[in-house]
Structure 1
Amino acid sequence: MTDNITSVSAGARADAGVSALKGRTGAGAPAETRGRTTIADGVVAKIAGMAAREVPGIYNLGAGMARALGAMRERVPGGGGGVTRGVKVEVGERQAAVDLDVVVEYGVSIVDVAGGVRTNVISAVERMTGLEVVEVNVVVDDVHLPDDDEGQTEPDEGRVR
């Protein structure tokens, strides 16, 4: 991801040149710009993870080991839903960058799915946070085959009764 990121915030008011995230103080400033809004990395990661999962052709997020550990964690009460599994973000004052590890369905165009993921993630993050998304890097870690689901039923309570 990029460390030297500079540009105007997507949430900037064109007429006043004031960022809704950074804000300014004083009686002359509009009420919505008085103070500072900080958006945690985890918030952006959740938004990006949800947006990526909405794209047709995405089977799952996360690399092999992360998916295995995440599946175990989801079975533990209070272990979390794994929305941010496979998602890494870097959030600055006005900009964000996103890295995604994805698993695609067999038969889909990986190029088209990656483009759809970028479009959906950028749209969701910018709309919900006001941050400018400077890049969305997509790493395809695996292809989900239709027969991967066969034979993967819930385990019985035991082999004998």
Structure 2
Amino acid sequence: MKCWAHCWLVLALSGHWGAQASEVWTGWVSWVMDGDTVLLVRHGQLEPVKLRIDGIDAPEICQPGGVQARDAMTRLALRKSVEVDDRGQDVYGRQVGRLSVDGVDLGAEMVRSGMAWAYRFETGKGPYAGLQRQAQTQKTGLFAAPEVAMSPHVFRKFHGTCHGN
């Protein structure tokens, strides 16, 4: 079998065709920027890493609910030891990953409590869509006032980010 055919077969059978390998590492959260972005220090390193939490989209800090979402993430993560399932970088150069404290998925907690939307870049539907429907049905968190709750994706289309980009 020619090398290219063999390599293709190995990749296809192993499920790695187009998949991005993730790396798991630990650190501690030094700052919460908003409901879906934190600064954390990887154990053994000095420089903080800006991490965008995968699978969620929290309100912009300047939109209604933004401060509440940031405060919710602060309660969950600030100054705590975390495990990061690193998924690589997004289009803005930020690290993207799943974040957990003592085995609790913080992205899931943010959506479950109604402080963030389930979101996946480009497709819009994230891994926590069921939790979002539950929060909306129960009118939890930001969904308590559905006429005010605007997804950050829509907010940015009309108003841009809070930082002017």
Same fold flag (TM > 0.5): no
Structure 1 or 2: more strand by fraction = 2
Greater gyration radius: 1
The TM-score, its normalising length taken from structure 1, stands at: 0.25
Relative contact order (alpha carbons < 8 A, sep ≥ 6): 1 or 2 greater?
1
